[in-house]
Structure 1
Amino acid sequence: MMSETGTRTHECLREADSLEFGRELGARLRAGDLVLLAGPLGAGKTVLVKGIAAGMGVTGPVTSPTFVIARVHRPGGDDGTTLVHVDAYRLTALDELDDLDLDTDLTDAAVVVEWGEGVAERLGDEYLVVRLHRRDDDVREITLEPHGTSWAERIVS
């Protein structure tokens, strides 16, 4: 469902639905993309990233980078885009984000930041906020909020 503000909301009844939604989003990502994931613990951020990685052709396991802060996942083929998966939950200051040098990664990779809202927006003028909400009936609602014309055009379909 698309709103007048350009947001799009999707319901995921099962984990498999979240993975598929992530695959579809991942298939659209390219080098230079910045995606910020927002939602409480247990909302399904890492599950969504697993789907995004699959859509990007990433091989190997995708796990939460909570303790290492960032993981780099390479695509299985020569023509794919690298995924940099960041967990900003433990970052306590903006300069810690700067220490990760993510603006450099943005030239060569798609960067997905869990807990990134309020911290990582300054990495680019164009970014996508993905809000995850777990309802009482265990259904996940995923809302895409585009920031910049590139994202507004890409999430319409």
Structure 2
Amino acid sequence: MRSSFPQEGRRQFATAADTQAFGEELGAALEAGDLVILDGPLGAGKTTLTQGIARGMGVKGRVTSPTFVIAREHRSLGEGPALVHVDAYRLLDDFGAGSGDPLGDLDALDLDTELEDAVVVAEWGGGLLAQLSDAYLFVGLDREPENRTETGADTREITWRWVNAGN
């Protein structure tokens, strides 16, 4: 990830458009080989954030939840890396239970892009952190932040931190 994006932080967003704008900012900072783990409850905005990441990366194709296909690949419209959008819950459920190697199982999905040449964004990835990579960006999405603003019930809080498990 480019150093222009903070290594950790916390922000609140009142609308889906705000969440996508933050994702766009994040996506512009991501580089090939980056792994982003999105963790949060159903409806917290994981796919909405990924839509913004895709815009920031300049990839093609409509970004939707990968729930039924396990992984979607979105190629770059320019020279940048592809985006591989993964439903890690399904990956673990369908593939990882047998091999114990979710990243290897993802690679076995016969994607057109080598994973080290792409940015991988994994929804529901919280339980796979140690298995996927030693270094990753962990993004937590919370539908009910402790310090909710008075502007409405749809406020989301996003926290992020770069994790280097090898150190």
User: CA–CA distance in 2 between the matches of 1:121 and 1:27?
Assistant: 25
Instruction: Report the equivalent of 1:145.
Output: 161
Q: Name the counterpart of 1:155.
A: none
Match for residue 55 of structure 1? 56
Structure 1 residue 7, shift from structure 2 partner:
3.6
Moved more, 112-121 or 27-36: 112-121
CA distance in 1, matches of 2:130, 2:25: 23
In our comparison, the structure showing a higher alpha carbon Rg is 2
RMSD over aligned Cα atoms: 2.0
CA distance in 1, matches of 2:89, 2:64: 15
CA deviations 1:67-103 (Å, max 9, x no partner) are 11001101111x111100000122322737232228x
Corresponding position of 2:82: 82
| Aligned twin of 1:99 | 105
After TM superposition, the score normalised by the length of structure 2 is 0.78
- In structure 2, relative to structure 1, the CA distance for the partners of 1:70 and 1:148 (3 Å cut) is same
Could you tell me whether the CA contact under 8 Å between 1:113 and 1:120 is conserved in 2?
A: no
Change (3 A) 1:126 1:85: same
Between Structure 1 and Structure 2, how many residues are aligned?
A: 142
Structure 2 unpaired stretches of 5+: 1-6
Give the distance between the partners of 1:36 and 1:94, measured in 2 at CA.
22
Q: What residue in structure 2 maps to residue 18 of structure 1?
A: 19
The TM-score normalised by the length of structure 1 is 0.83
Q: Tell me the CA shift for residue 66 of structure 1.
A: 0.4
Identity among equivalent pairs (%): 57
Amino acid at match of 2:53: I
**Secondary structure, in 3 states, of the residue corresponding to 1:118?**
helix
Determine the structure 2 residue equivalent to 1:109. Answer: 118
Unaligned 5+ segments in structure 1 are 1-5, 150-157
After TM superposition, give the deviation of residue 120 of structure 1 in Å: 4.2
